[in-house]
Structure 1
Amino acid sequence: MSGSTVLREGIVFGESARWHDGRAWFADWGTGEIVAVDPEGIREVVVRVPFPSLPMCFDRAPDGRLLIVSSSEARVVTPEADGSFATYADLSAVGGGFNEIVADGRGNVFVNGADFDPMRGEAPRPGFVAVIAADGSVRRVADGIEFPNGMAVTPDDTTLIVAESYANRLTAFDIDADGGLSRRRVWADLGTGVPDGICLDAEGAVWYADVPNKRCVRVREGGDVTATLDLDRGCFSCVLDADGRTLYIVATEWRGMSDPTAGPRTGQLLAAPVSTTTVTT
């Protein structure tokens, strides 16, 4: 990819890219670690989890707490100062196969799930989105999501965008006052694009990571593609820095669902300069 820089190598399986406090954060599903890397490539392991970490996504609550999805335990946890993990929410009543998590600025935390286990060879079926409300209650707020993956909330907290990997599209919902979702619509039909992790830029366009097509793509609402960044391995997640001028990407050679963390460590964290006005290939 022209203009990109490899900041870190030797990652087993990077996912759930986030930007916080001047660093790119990601979850390494192969090591059970949440890692933060600064723009110079200096790495810190911030959290090690005691539970199976495949999958393991994270975000921050509006009060700053780190929220981690423990899919195997069907709960969202938050690390405590003494190294323990407190339960933030019990997800067991709303489904399974939990994957991505994103918080809005009003206290709602959205978690999605595939509702099947592809690593065990289970047949695909539509997934869902659930909300953890500010009062701690958990309920499903959307169904029929074709392998829900990355999610993003618009800065005004009014819209949730969900990547539907198996439907090759981004789907949007209005966020109601109580955390419910309504007015479902196709935000962008991606054609052959297979969206995984996503993030929003300052103009409201979405960058999505694409594993089988080995690229990150910038797309506007309605489906207009304005930039494509090609890599030599699958792109799993991406995030912009605070200025929106650098896209951080976690990418790995994809070996399939049966044992995605086996084999050599091919994961990388890359940084690429981007623009909202210039097409980059």
Structure 2
Amino acid sequence: MTETKIEPFRPADLSRVGVGLNRPECVLAAPDGSLYTGDWTLGIAQVDPDGRTHSAVESDLVGDGFRPNGIAMTVDGDFLFANMGRAGGVWRVGRRGTARPVATELDGQPIPRTNFVLVDGDRTWITISSRGRKHEHFTADEDTGQILLVRDGVVSVAADGLNWTNELRLSPDGQHLFVNETFACRTTRYDVAADGSLTNPVQIRYPGDTYPDGMAFDGEGFLWVVCVISNRIIRVAPDLTWTVLFEDTDDRELAAVAALHASKSLTWDQISGSRGSRLANLSSIAFGGEDLETIYLGGLGMNDIQVLPSPVAGFPMEHWR
């Protein structure tokens, strides 16, 4: 397969869609041009092709222990959402009706707050950033992150001992699973067996001011990784070499955050205050548009979805197929 050479993007290349969003942490693009994102006001927000923003579901998903974070769409149009509210776990909700549990217990114990969920045929993958979430500081030492696998209604631990586990994706050929370990400044690749077991982890390491969060594959098999705080977009090649394609940050502010992280004293207040010229804590990337050649970006500190034209088409996610 040929590789498309991509020139770096600039903040001036960005446009925007959607208004009044609350923490659009995870963006999904649908074939009809609609965009969806977890939202701490609307529950699951929908941005129509004409730009109108409204809730995608009737159910109240911001009360009663719910705070949708990562979201996925099933082939029949329901949503799964990773719940960062006190009820934890992963839940399923349709356009109408109440949310119902998908994965809320593991070996008889409640599943805590979850970060991300991915539909993969008859398998569902879930990440837990930290089983405790009682930590004052975000460090590279935190090792209670997990990847869970749900298959035939059974929840199991696929990988353990991870650092602030964030988004994950299956490679287009289905042979590998990639996951971002945010405050260890790395992306980890596993081999995936037919039964969902993960083996042979290989770590892609970034500099100490690079905090990977969201990800998406393009049609050439390259992984696009977006980073909180630095607002970077990185493109990882199949051979695991990588290139920075975009950055929107204040250099002095980023250096200060990196120093706090290195000294194990980085707090959420310091992270949440991070701002670029157009982006704030970039956390999600999705390919969409009629030809999958539009990039949609969401972030923890943003109230809209930012847009870039892409010179390469994205790889269609499960709900496109």
Q: Shorter-normalised TM-score: what interval?
A: 0.7 to 0.9
Q: In the alignment, which residue of structure 1 is the partner of 2:72?
A: 59
Residues 38-95 of structure 1, C-alpha deviations (whole Å, 9 max, x = no match) = 4442323102414444452211345553212234323322124652122223334475
Write 1 or 2 for the structure with the bigger share of helix. 2
Q: Is the 8 A contact 1:151 1:163 kept in 2?
A: yes
Among 243, 265, 268, the alignment partner of 1:225 is: 243
Residues 203-235 of structure 1, C-alpha deviations (whole Å, 9 max, x = no match) = 121222211102333232423205225352221
Cα drift, residue 9 of structure 1 = 3.3
Among 75, 80, 89, the alignment partner of 2:103 is: 89
Q: Any runs of at least 4 consecutive aligned residues in structure 1 with deviations exceeding 6 A, and if so which?
A: none
Cα drift, residue 130 of structure 1 = 0.6
Cα drift, residue 126 of structure 1 = 2.9
Q: 1:7 and 1:189, CA in 2 relative to 1: closer, same or farther beyond 3 A? A: same
Among 161, 172, 177, the alignment partner of 2:194 is: 177
Q: 1:39 and 1:129, CA in 2 relative to 1: closer, same or farther beyond 3 A? A: same
Q: 1:53 and 1:225, CA in 2 relative to 1: closer, same or farther beyond 3 A? A: farther
Q: Secondary structure at the match of 2:297?
A: strand
Q: Is the 8 A contact 2:294 2:310 kept in 1?
A: yes
Q: Does 1:41 pair with 2:41?
A: no
Cα drift, residue 27 of structure 1 = 0.7
For the aligned residues, what is the CA RMSD? 2.5
In 2, the alpha carbon distance for the partners of 1:26 and 1:85 equals 16
Out of 46-55 and 153-162, give the one that drifted further: 46-55
Q: Secondary structure at the match of 2:183?
A: helix
Q: Secondary structure at the match of 1:177?
A: coil
Q: TM-score, normalised by structure 2?
A: 0.73
Q: How does 1:258-277 map to 2 (within 5 A)?
A: 266-276=302-312
Count of matched residue positions in the alignment of Structure 1 and Structure 2: 261
In 1, the alpha carbon distance for the partners of 2:116 and 2:233 equals 18
Q: Is the 8 A contact 1:163 1:197 kept in 2?
A: yes
* One-letter identity of the residue aligned with 2:171: T
Q: Which is higher, the Rg of structure 1 or of structure 2?
A: 2
Cα drift, residue 239 of structure 1 = 0.7
Among 101, 109, 115, the alignment partner of 2:124 is: 109
Residues 119-153 of structure 1, C-alpha deviations (whole Å, 9 max, x = no match) = 663784331101001x1000001012111001112
Unaligned ranges ≥5, structure 1: 254-265
Write 1 or 2 for the structure with the bigger share of strand. 1
In percent, how many aligned pairs have the same letter?
Answer: 23
Q: 1:234 and 1:156, CA in 2 relative to 1: closer, same or farther beyond 3 A? A: same
Q: In the alignment, which residue of structure 2 is the partner of 1:74?
A: 88
Cα drift, residue 112 of structure 1 = 1.0
Q: Secondary structure at the match of 1:2?
A: helix
Q: In the alignment, which residue of structure 2 is the partner of 1:24?
A: 35
Q: 1:271 and 1:45, CA in 2 relative to 1: closer, same or farther beyond 3 A? A: same
Unaligned ranges ≥5, structure 2: 1-10, 249-275, 314-321
Q: Does 1:98 pair with 2:114?
A: yes
Q: Is the 8 A contact 1:103 1:153 kept in 2?
A: no
